[in-house]
A = this chain, B = another copy of it.
Amino acid sequence: MLTLADVVRALEGLYPPETAQSWDQVGLVSGDLEQPVSRIHFAVDPTLAVIEEARALGADLLVTHHPLLLRGVHSVATTTAKGASVTSLVVNDIALYVAHTNADVASPGVNDALADACGLGAVEPLAVVEGQPLGRVGMLPAPVSLSAFAQSLYAALPRAAGGIRVAGPAEASVQRVAVMGGAGDDMFGAARASGADVYVTADLRHHPVLEAREESRGGTPYVVDAGHWATESLWLAGAEQLLRDALAAGGRAGTTVDTHISTLRTDPWEFAVGAESPGGTP
């Protein structure tokens, strides 16, 4: 029987904790290294619903991209959502393991998955931050219109209610693409410096985007907000496969492990009103 220690060792081989950014909190959040693990559930966010999904599936281990306790907690009473989540994990004997910015920089990792979804080749790091390759930049096989690029990215991503928002003229031609899964509004400078025609990231607020657009004087790089959850959930299938392979490679004979990927959409938006298609009609 595999133990949590075995799986943690395999995960740390794939996503070494020391490659995480200094402000991040990755690794084991709940569980006991000696507990057996036979079913592993993967998700972007450790929400209460995802923990319940894991419990219903009989999972022993939940692997998520986002930290549950990025800020330290002084209580796990169920009066707060964080406390209720910790309590639910512990009561249900579900270990939680987080691979966050260490999964972002890994190769293959979150940003490689996003580069693949964009259809990029000749992929390089977008920037090196704290010694790690953050984001990616690469080339489409041929120039396409910004609108066609967005449509095709939409098709490659899981669906989220907010859809994909684009700053730039629909008919502009793009070929060089920078990507950064999740919140990338501190990387506009790197995107511009990379020569990208378009920068795909998420969680973009008015001022950073508007300032980046002003700095580009309306030109490239155009900007695509493809959704925080959507861009990062691309990583789950690859991580699942890598972990299965690693456990098989390192595993003792006769041990098997079941894996699942969450079917819940943890993007918080449930519907939208009035978003405008390239032609401007809602």
- A→B interface (CB under 8 Å): 25, 27-33, 45, 47-48, 66-67, 69-87, 90-91, 95, 147, 150-151, 154, 159-170, 182-183, 202-203, 205-207, 209-211, 213-215, 217, 223, 225, 228-229, 266-280, 282
Contacts A29-B77, A270-B169, A270-B170 hold; do A205 and B217 have CB atoms under 8 A apart?
Answer: no
Instruction: List the 10 closest A-B pairs by CB distance, nearest first.
Output: A72-B72, A163-B275, A275-B275, A206-B228, A163-B274, A81-B214, A272-B275, A90-B90, A28-B77, A203-B205
A260 CA / B120 CA spacing, docked (Å): 46
Q: Which residues of B contact A162 (CB under 8 A)?
A: 162, 165, 275
Inter-subunit contact A269/B167 (CB<8 Å): yes
Q: Which residues of B contact A30 (CB under 8 A)?
A: 75-77, 83, 87
Q: Which residues of B contact A163 (CB under 8 A)?
A: 272-276, 282
- Among A85, A150, A203, A206: residue with most chain B CB under 10 A: A206
A202 CA / B82 CA spacing, docked (Å): 24
Minimal beta-carbon separation of A207 from chain B (angstroms): 8
A77 CA / B95 CA spacing, docked (Å): 8
Inter-subunit contact A164/B273 (CB<8 Å): yes
Inter-subunit contact B210/A202 (CB<8 Å): no
Inter-subunit contact B28/A75 (CB<8 Å): yes
Minimal beta-carbon separation of A128 from chain B (angstroms): 19
Inter-subunit contact B164/A272 (CB<8 Å): yes
Contacts A25-B74, A74-B70 hold; do A272 and B277 have CB atoms under 8 A apart?
Answer: yes
- Among A87, A207, A215, A269: residue with most chain B CB under 10 A: A269
Q: Which residues of B contact A272 (CB under 8 A)?
A: 163-166, 275-277
Q: Which residues of B contact A225 (CB under 8 A)?
A: 269
Contact of A273 among B79, B166, B169 (CB under 8 A): B166
- Name 12 A/B residue pairs within 8 A (Cβ), A-sorted: A30-B83, A32-B87, A47-B214, A48-B214, A84-B217, A161-B165, A162-B275, A165-B269, A203-B206, A209-B268, A209-B269, A272-B276
Q: Which residues of B contact A228 (CB under 8 A)?
A: 205-207
